[in-house]
Amino acid sequence: MTEELRRSPVAAMRRWSLRARVGRVVLALLVFVALLLTVVGVSFVRFIHRGDDVIKRWQPAVSLSQDVLSDLVNQETGIRGYALSGVSSFLQPYDQYRTQETADEAQLRRLIGNRSNLIADVDAFAAAAKTWRTDIAAPFIERVREHDPDVATAVAGLEAKHRFDAIRGRAARLTADLTAVRHQAGVDRRNAAVYVWTTLGVTAGLILVVFYAVWRGLRRSVLDPIERLAQQTRQVAGGDTQQHIVPFGPPEIAALGADVDAMRSRIVDDLDVVERARLDLLARTGELARSNADLEQFAYVASHDLSEPLRKVANFCQLLERQYGPQLDPKARQYIDFAVDGAKRMQVLINDLLAFSRVGRTTEDFAPVELAQALRRALANLDAAIAESGAVVEHGELPTVRGDSTLLVALLQNLVGNAIKYRSAEPPRVQVVAELADGVWTVSVSDNGIGIEPQYAERIFAIFQRLHLRDEYGGTGIGLALCRKIVEFHGGRIWLADHDGPGATLSFTIPDKEEMVGTDAPES
């Protein structure tokens, strides 16, 4: 029984691919439409042919049969006039319409074709006309020319009348037969019209039936399987990830369902991995929070407990120098200077590390900041360095952005301070400009100092990285690293820009105040 079902046409059709089904349906539709068009075309051709028979053949044939009779009537009238008057001009209609009769008869024969009964009627009509001309018309013409006094009486006699009545009878028979043929052609034309309309109606009905069948096939083979697949997919999308997707329908849609189920399985596996990662991340977040708390405690100890001994070392070294200065030799004073300088540099380093660690806590305190005002505060902090170096700091129109005012002041102070620190023999000249593009401000700080080689474009932003000896230029190597952290905290980036001539240009981006700066930065 199973083997019989497997061999049945329905089961075989179910194993067809969707492409095979569509191809076979399209081929069947093309054959069906071709047959319908053929039937409709044949019916139209038949209707047109029947119409041509009525209009172009049998109607003119009926008219020509009457025209031939009229030609003979005009000939008979010409013979009477010639016989009664003896004037030769009265014989002209006879000659004229005899020629016309010949032409009309020839055209009539072309129209009736090979219809034997009509040919017989035309032959009988032509024979009667020939007999009349031979036995009546020609002798009367001869008698008029011989001046026979009895010809006028004879032309109106019974013999002439009977002979012409025979012609009329043959003409009536021919006209009647032609009228019957014309009537039958009209009936055939009407039947052809009925056949045409019937064919069109049947064609329209068959087209509707075929479209309905195609729609049912499309629904069963495509729409229903896709809807079923969509329902199962929506269940999975709704959270029921354990719901298996059962393949259904043609092989292509069934394969799609299998692929979707395989994707569901992979997603379930990935979700398990993600969930484990989430739990691990929560645990690490707790550890990071504790680590941050310890780091804050360390920062507090570094700022208070470490700074206090350093201050004492520096202070007592200076007191030692003042109290026992006269008793110390130059070497001892140099050692005391080294100790004081080391303590001060350690204090600066501790302060810089604290500032670096405090950047990036949260964006909750972000507010509109006028960069022009922030630059003025930075220049006020650098007042001594500017006065000592004779630096000139110029700036164009600077925007208002969202950010941390204190950090932006520190950013500008470090960039301008570096430009003053790493100056050349010429008095420092620093220029700060800003440009807006695609909702992002690009701020550039340019100087005429000693410049920076392109190969160090990344190294200068690393913490504790220095390009010069400490004896040449002071500092802890944290300044530009702090600048990068501040810029990235504000959603931008900082880089060494191309610069024409002596000096260097450092540029950084910061979103416009209308743009979202971002969510809270992760704690470090």
- Strand extents, DSSP E, 367-516: 367-370, 392-395, 400-403, 429-437, 440-446, 494-497, 505-511
pLDDT at 85 over 80: no
As a whole-number percent, the residues of the chain with pLDDT over 90 amount to 2
Note the pLDDT of residue 6.
Answer: 47
What pLDDT digit, counting tens, does each position of 342-377 carry? 666 565 556 555 554 555 555 566 788 899 999 998
pTM recorded for the entire structure = 0.40
Note the pLDDT of residue 419.
Answer: 82
Instruction: Determine the average pLDDT of the residues in 500-521.
Output: 70
Q: Are 92 and 79 in contact (CB under 8 A)?
A: no
Instruction: Determine the average pLDDT of the residues in 377-402.
Output: 87
Reported residue count of the chain is 524
pLDDT band with cut points at 50, 70 and 90 for residue 475: low
Please say whether the dihedral angle defined by the alpha carbons of residues 351, 354, 356 and 362, taken in this order, is positive or negative: negative
Q: CA-CA distance, 343 to 350, in Å (whole number)?
A: 11
Q: Are 499 and 446 in contact (CB under 8 A)?
A: yes
Q: Are 141 and 98 in contact (CB under 8 A)?
A: no
Instruction: Determine the average pLDDT of the residues in 71-75.
Output: 82
Residue 428 in tokens = 């420092």
Note the pLDDT of residue 106.
Answer: 84
Note the pLDDT of residue 498.
Answer: 79
Residue 393 in tokens = 């700091």
pLDDT band with cut points at 50, 70 and 90 for residue 193: confident
CA-CA-CA-CA torsion for 255, 256, 262, 265, nearest 10 degrees? Answer: -140
Note the pLDDT of residue 523.
Answer: 39
Residue 160 in tokens = 């002439």
Helical H runs in 304-457? 307-324, 330-358, 371-381, 383-389, 405-421
What pLDDT digit, counting tens, does each position of 146-189 carry? 777 777 677 666 777 777 878 888 888 888 888 887 888 777 77
pLDDT band with cut points at 50, 70 and 90 for residue 2: very low
pLDDT band with cut points at 50, 70 and 90 for residue 432: very high
What pLDDT digit, counting tens, does each position of 505-515 carry? 889 998 886 65
Residue 503 in tokens = 């000096």
Q: Is 432 helix (H, G, I), strand (E, B) or coil?
A: strand
Note the pLDDT of residue 1.
Answer: 44
pLDDT at 298 over 70: no
Residue 18 in tokens = 């969707």
User: In sequence order, what are the residues at sequence separation of 6 or more whose Cβ sits closer than 8 angstroms to the Cβ of residue 282?
Assistant: none
- Highest mean pLDDT, choosing among 3-12, 357-366, 386-395, 459-468: 386-395
pLDDT at 62 over 80: yes
User: In sequence order, what are the residues at sequence separation of 6 or more whose Cβ sits closer than 8 angstroms to the Cβ of residue 67?
Assistant: 104
Note the pLDDT of residue 373.
Answer: 92
Q: Are 97 and 133 in contact (CB under 8 A)?
A: no
As a whole-number percent, the residues of the chain with pLDDT over 70 amount to 75
pLDDT at 81 over 70: yes
What pLDDT digit, counting tens, does each position of 200-248 carry? 788 888 888 877 887 887 777 677 777 777 777 777 777 777 777 777 6
